[in-house]
Amino acid sequence: MKRVLTVGMEYTGSPIEGVEFEQLGLCRSDIDEARAAYPLYEYDVIVISPQSYSHFLFGKEGAHSGSDQELLDLKTDYREHDLDTVFDSTDRQNELEAALAAGATVVWCMAEPRRMNFFGYRETSLGYLAPAMTAAIRRSGQILKKGRRVGFIDPDTSFAAYFENLSAVGGWGIALEHDEPGLSTIAATPEGYQLGAKVEIGATTGWLITPPLTQEATNHLILGALAVSKAEPDAPRYHGIFLSHTSVDKPFVRKLRRDLMARGVPKVWLDEAEIQVGDSLIAKIDEGMAMSRYVGVVLSHKSIDAPWVKKELDVAMNREISSGEVVVLPMLYEECDIPTFLRGKLYADFSSEEKYVEGLEKLLRRLKI
């Protein structure tokens, strides 16, 4: 059974054998169990359209969706519908990351980022649950237009029928102004604005598409998402890597490990994931370094003086010298005084959110077999 979750839109087409459609929202189940989606990693296909806060919180348009003070109106109606109470963005974001890692097809519909001052400024882009993609959309710039024609359509995309329907019947109302790295065009207006793109930004993968304006187009969009092929015969293979770091940098290292594994790296050695109660620390670390083709050293203010990191780096550099092969991969997390013997090496730069994606791609290119 394939499970399809639609957030902010509904499938009304003919039933499909072996497919279950659910129109639900991203609110917390303990606040509104009837309208809350199950954990996102339980779905094979996810389509999110955050046209208003009600759309992504409860799955569909609500009484206040057109209001300029929608968040206040929701809280006034029912105190528990305060955005910070009804929506756990971190939890849902972690679920989406797990869903992507498991191979789920995710489609985000472009939406005007309705910004409201509600105990600080909030935007409907919260509903995307994908900060990397949200940042790419902001850099690209969205343009609101009323259009009926679609210029370019990638004939190989599963969404070709959707874009053809927009051109023939429904039209479109929003597009991206500029190309952005990580967004590959699958449909565009005659003057070159993006109406659809394949998203490949680090571990954030899926499709970003102009929203449907009719129910017929909505059905085409959801069926297009369902038709996306899961086959990846040419998926790259990767060497394993040992992550040498200090405990202060653990949050960054955990994220990096998740992203590397989501991109197909089979073995990313991290102490807390490998060492069990009763194990010898030294023996397990030696084993982890021995079984990893590369040793990635996370460079930060704390790590360059950390005894454990120094020892692991010493072992890895000796292996590199004796083998004549590259073993040590420097990864800059914070601007710091890089050890002298690493200064001649090209490093992967993770020192800012903007540089993270590029740093990840550089690291993956080195790990690739």
Q: Where are the alpha helices (DSSP H) in the chain?
A: 53-58, 70-77, 83-86, 89-101, 131-140, 160-165, 215-227, 250-262, 271-274, 281-291, 307-323, 353-367
What is the distance between the alpha carbons of residues 253 and 243, in angstroms, rounded to a whole number? 8
Give percent of the chain above pLDDT 70. Answer: 98
Give the end-to-end CA distance of the chain in Å, rounded to a whole number.
35
Using a 10 angstrom Cβ sphere, with 0-12 exposed, 13-18 middle and 19 or more buried, the burial of residue 104 is buried
321 C-beta neighbours (distance < 10 Å), count: 11
Q: Is the pLDDT of residue 235 over 80?
A: no
pTM: 0.64
pLDDT classification of 266: cutoffs 50, 70, 90: confident
Provide the pLDDT for residue 231. 43
Which pLDDT band holds residue 236 (cuts at 50, 70, 90)?
low
Q: What is the pLDDT of residues 170-189, one digit of tens each?
A: 899 999 998 888 899 999 99
Residue at 276: amino acid letter: Q
Domains and CATH numbers, the chain: 2-227 (3.40.50), 241-367 (3.40.50.10140)
Instruction: Identify the three-state secondary structure at position 87.
Output: coil
The 10s digit of each residue's pLDDT in 102-145 is: 899 999 999 988 888 877 888 999 999 999 889 999 999 999 99
Read off the pLDDT band of 341 (50, 70, 90).
confident
Residue 248 has pLDDT above 80, yes or no: yes
Q: Are strands 294-299 and 183-188 parallel, antiparallel or unpaired?
A: unpaired
pLDDT at 233 over 50: no
Q: What is the DSSP string of 127-196?
A: GG--HHHHHHHHHH-EEEEEE----EE-TTSTTHHHHHHIIIII-EEEEESS--TTEEEEEE-TT--EEE
DSSP 8-state assignment for residue 258: H
pLDDT grade for 229, boundaries at 50, 70 and 90: low
